[in-house]
Amino acid sequence: MTETAADTTLISYAPATGEELWRGEHGDVGEAVSRARRAWPEWAARSLTNRIELARRFANQVRKAADELAELIARETGKPLWEARTEVEAVVNKVEISVQAYAERTGKKKLDSALQGTAAVRHKPHGVMAVLGPYNFPVHLPNGHIVPALIAGNTILFKPSEKTPAVGAKLVECFHRCGIPKDVVQIVIGGPQEGKDLVAHPGVDGVLFTGSAQAGIAINRKLAANPGKIVALEMGGNNPIVVIDTPKVEDAAVLIVQSAFTTAGQRCTAARRLIVKDSMHDALLAELIPLTKKLLVGGPMDEPPPFMGPVIDNDTADKLGESFLELVTAGGKPLVHMRRPDPDKPFLTPGIVDTTDIEDRPDIELFGPVLQVIRVPDLDAGIAEANNTRFGLSASLIGGTPDDYARFWANIRAGIINWNRPTNGASSAAPFGGIGLSGNHRPAAYYAADYCAYPVASTEMDQPRANIGVGLKE
C-alpha cells in the first residue's frame, strides 16, 4: 500500500504488515527529461559493444544484491520470498536474452551491387524513453523494457508504480553502480500525475507501459494525434483456461491453481475464467476445490513458505471482495468462498465462483485470486466462450488430442497460447504480448528490441556516379 503524506512526498508501506518501508520526494519531470536529452547523444554514440558490456556489469550488480533485492520485493509487494527470488533471477537472465534478441531482431544487413552501390539496413535508437512500471513484478517487467532500450542506445526515465517505489529505486541503483551514467537511467518518483506528465512531454520519444487496460487506453488516447512517439502497451487479460477430456485430472487441477492463484492472482496472464467441458466438470471440481482450500496464504517471510501472499493494498482487497459478492448476487454460485482473515490487512483466500448461469458476465480483469467457472458442452463451445472477451493476452487448453489443440490454437484470439501448461509463466526468450485490450501489437520480452530501435534503409556509394539515359535534348 502506498499513499501520499504530503504533496511532494511518496510513502510506501508493506502490505503484509502495514509498516512504512520507504519515503521519497516526487520527481521533477521537466528536469529529468532535460537531463536525459542532454545525455542521449553521447550514450547513442557509444559502441554497441560498450553498451552490452555495461548491461552485463548491471547483471553482475543484481547478482551481488540478489538477497537484498529479493527481500525488498517480497516486503513491498507482499509476494512470498521464494517467488521474489525467481523475479531477481529473471532480471539477471534478461540481459543475455536481450543481447541475443538485439542481434537477431535488429542486426545490420548489406546487399552489394557493383553498379548500384550498397543497400544497407541499420537501426537507430528513438531517444528518450519513458518506462512506466507495474507493482506486481516491480523489477522484472520494467527491466524487460529498460535493458533492451539501453542496449539500443536510448536513455531511460523510469517511473515505478507508486505502490513499489523502494524496489524501483534499488533497481536504478544497480544500473548506476555498474557504470551507466546517472542521466542515462533516471528514476522519476511519483503517482499518476508524474506518469501523465512523462507521457505528454514533447521531449519524450517513446512510452513503454505495463499496467491496466484503463491506464493503457488513456495513454493511447493521449498520444493518438502524435504518431511520432513510439508506444508499447502491455496490459491485462480476462484469460481463459479451457479443460476438455483428460485422464490427468489431478494435474489439470494443479495447472489451474498455478494459473489462477500464483502471485495472489496479480499477474496479467493469470487465469480468470475456467471453461470446463460438462463431462469433466464433476471430476475436475472434486480435485480443484480441496486443492484450492489447502493453499497457504501468509506473509512473505512466513515459515512454512506460503503459496501466495496478500494483494497489494486494502483498497484492492476491498474491491475484490465486492466484485466476488457482485458475481454471487448476479446469479453466480460460490464454490470456494473468498475470505478476508484480517479486515485491516489485504490478505485474501482464493475464491471460486460458478458463473455459468450469469447471462451477461462482466468482461473485466479482476486482478486478484478470483476464478470464474463456466460449463460448456464441447471444445467448440469452449473456444467460443474463451473468445467472449475484449482482451486477448493468454489462453491455455488442458487435455484433448493434438488435433484438438490445433483447432484451439487456430481459433483462439490471444498472443500466448499454451497446451497442458499454465496460462502464466511465459518465457522471456519468446515474444510476450496480446491483442484487443491486452496490447497494441508491440509484444515485449524477446521482441522488445523491435520497439527500442527503428530501421533505417540506405543506398550508398563511395563516390557519386549517375547519368540520365533518356529525355535529354541533343
**pTM (two decimals):** 0.96
Q: CB burial class (10 A; 0-12, 13-18, 19+) of residue 203?
A: middle
Query: So what's the pLDDT on residue 403?
Result: 98
Q: How confident is the model at residue 474 (pLDDT cuts 50, 70, 90)?
A: confident
Kindly state the cell numbers that stand for 132: 512506466
- Kindly report the average pLDDT of the chain as a whole number: 96
Q: How confident is the model at residue 112 (pLDDT cuts 50, 70, 90)?
A: confident
Q: How confident is the model at residue 453 (pLDDT cuts 50, 70, 90)?
A: very high
Check: CB of residue 293 under 8 Å from CB of residue 279: no
Say which of 162, 194, 234, 365 is annotated catalytic. Answer: 234
Percent pLDDT > 70 in the chain is 99
What is the tens place of the pLDDT at every residue in 392-413?
999 999 999 999 999 999 999 9
Is position 76 annotated as part of the catalytic site? no
Is position 268 annotated as part of the catalytic site? yes
* Sign of the alpha-carbon torsion through 160, 166, 168, 172: positive
Check: CB of residue 444 under 8 Å from CB of residue 431: yes
Read off the pLDDT of each residue in 446-453 and give the average, rounded to a whole number. 98
Query: So what's the pLDDT on residue 114?
Result: 63
Would you list the domain boundaries of the chain?
2-235+439-459, 239-419
> Does residue 3 register a pLDDT over 80?
no
Stated length of the chain: 474
Percent pLDDT > 90 in the chain is 92
What is the tens place of the pLDDT at every residue in 132-173?
999 999 999 999 999 999 999 999 999 999 999 999 999 999
Read off the pLDDT of each residue in 321-326 and give the average, rounded to a whole number. 98
What is the tens place of the pLDDT at every residue in 217-238?
999 999 999 999 999 999 999 9
What is the tens place of the pLDDT at every residue in 358-367?
999 999 999 9
Query: So what's the pLDDT on residue 361?
Result: 96
What is the tens place of the pLDDT at every residue in 282-310?
999 999 999 999 999 999 999 999 999 99
Q: What CATH number has the domain spanning 2-235+439-459?
A: 3.40.605.10
Query: So what's the pLDDT on residue 5?
Result: 41
For the domain made up of 239-419, give the CATH fold: Aldehyde Dehydrogenase; Chain A, domain 2 (3.40.309)
Say which of 268, 365, 385, 452 is annotated catalytic. Answer: 268
Q: How confident is the model at residue 8 (pLDDT cuts 50, 70, 90)?
A: confident
Q: In what order do the strands lie in the sheet with 117-125?
A: 109-113, 117-125, 453-460
Q: How far apart are CA 52 and CA 38, in angstroms?
A: 21
What is the tens place of the pLDDT at every residue in 33-68?
999 999 999 999 999 999 999 999 999 999 999 999
Q: How confident is the model at residue 2 (pLDDT cuts 50, 70, 90)?
A: very low
